[in-house]
Amino acid sequence: MKKGLGRGLNTLIGFGDDLNQTVSGEGVGEATEINIMKIKPNPDQPRKVFSDEELEELSESIKEFGVVQPLIVTPRGEGGGYMIVAGERRWRASQLAGLSTIPAIIRNYTDFEILGIALIENVQRQNLNPIEEANCYKRLTEEFDMTQEDLAKRVGKSRSHISNSMRVLRLDPRVLDMISEEKLTMGHAKPILSIEAGDAQFDAASKMVEQGMNVRQAEDFVRRYTAQLEAGENPEDMAPPEENPAVAEIRNKYKADLRDALGTRVNIKESKTSGGGGKIEINYFSGEDLDRIVDLIKSHG
């Protein structure tokens, strides 16, 4: 079975002539079934977080259709072992699916080439959380001596996006963890950058999470927070940002309307991101109650 790298790696690299020739040279090799236990992940893989839900979904797909796209691996270690160059998510899902072998294309790469491929592939495929993405850009600029302008051309992002992404790495590590865990968005992170001390950054970020602030509220909060710091006052005494009374009144009206229509408790929460979006939470208390609510919604569809 002949398998090509397709667009995945042939056109994603291109950040150095030597590496480009290695990846795009004559032929791409033949996919071979390899014992899954002989394959190990790349310890320098930039993606550190894999969603259990996504892996489970991919595992179910693999059970039904098999591994559609082979891994890219390189020989490493004694006893015929291999290290993943591209495709760790497929490898993890294949283990969940109970596969004993997995299709893979074997190529010889140096550690330098493997790092470059992993960084570019993950950024291009948008598999990373914001902090992993920022660290990718940092490593590409530092270890591969790329300018932000060169990097922007290679990965198809604007230079301002790359610059703003890398700036976030100046935040306190505890705040970076909140962003990685999706407790805060990059929109929340931007105003926090105006706070210099790490402990104050963490304090402000914690208050944003505790009070469920959206981005606009976070921006206003940081303005008041930094003003109090500069005035030598204690930000602990700050009141939470006030919600627009008109918006709150409309939300409460809709909550009451939905509660009456569905006969259950309903909550409406404004999104933490800008744009005026949010989510509706509908409570149910048994399987029968869920069926009743779904039938009500469908009857008005």
Which residues are identified as catalytic? Answer: 88
Say how far apart CA 166 and CA 212 lie, in whole Å. 25
Give the per-residue SS3 of the chain. CCCCCHHHHHCCCCCCHHHHHHHHCCCCCCEEEEEHHHEECCCCCCCCCCCHHHHHHHHHHHHHHCCCCCEEEEECCCCCCEEEEECHHHHHHHHHCCCCEEEEEECCCCHHHHHHHHHHHHHHCCCCCHHHHHHHHHHHHHHCCCCHHHHHHHHCCCHHHHHHHHHHHHCCHHHHHHHHCCCCCHHHHHHHCCCCCHHHHHHHHHHHHHCCCCHHHHHHHHHHHHHHHHCCCCHHHCCCCCCCHHHHHHHHHHHHHHHHHHCCCEEEEECCCCCCCEEEEECCCCHHHHHHHHHHHHHCC
Residue 274 CB coordination number (10 Å): 14
Structure tokens at 202: 């963490």
Are β-strands 71-75 and 278-282 bridged in parallel, bridged antiparallel, or unpaired?
unpaired
Task: Provide CB contacts within 8 A for 166, sequence distance 6+.
Answer: 134, 137, 138, 141, 148
Say how far apart CA 220 and CA 241 lie, in whole Å. 8
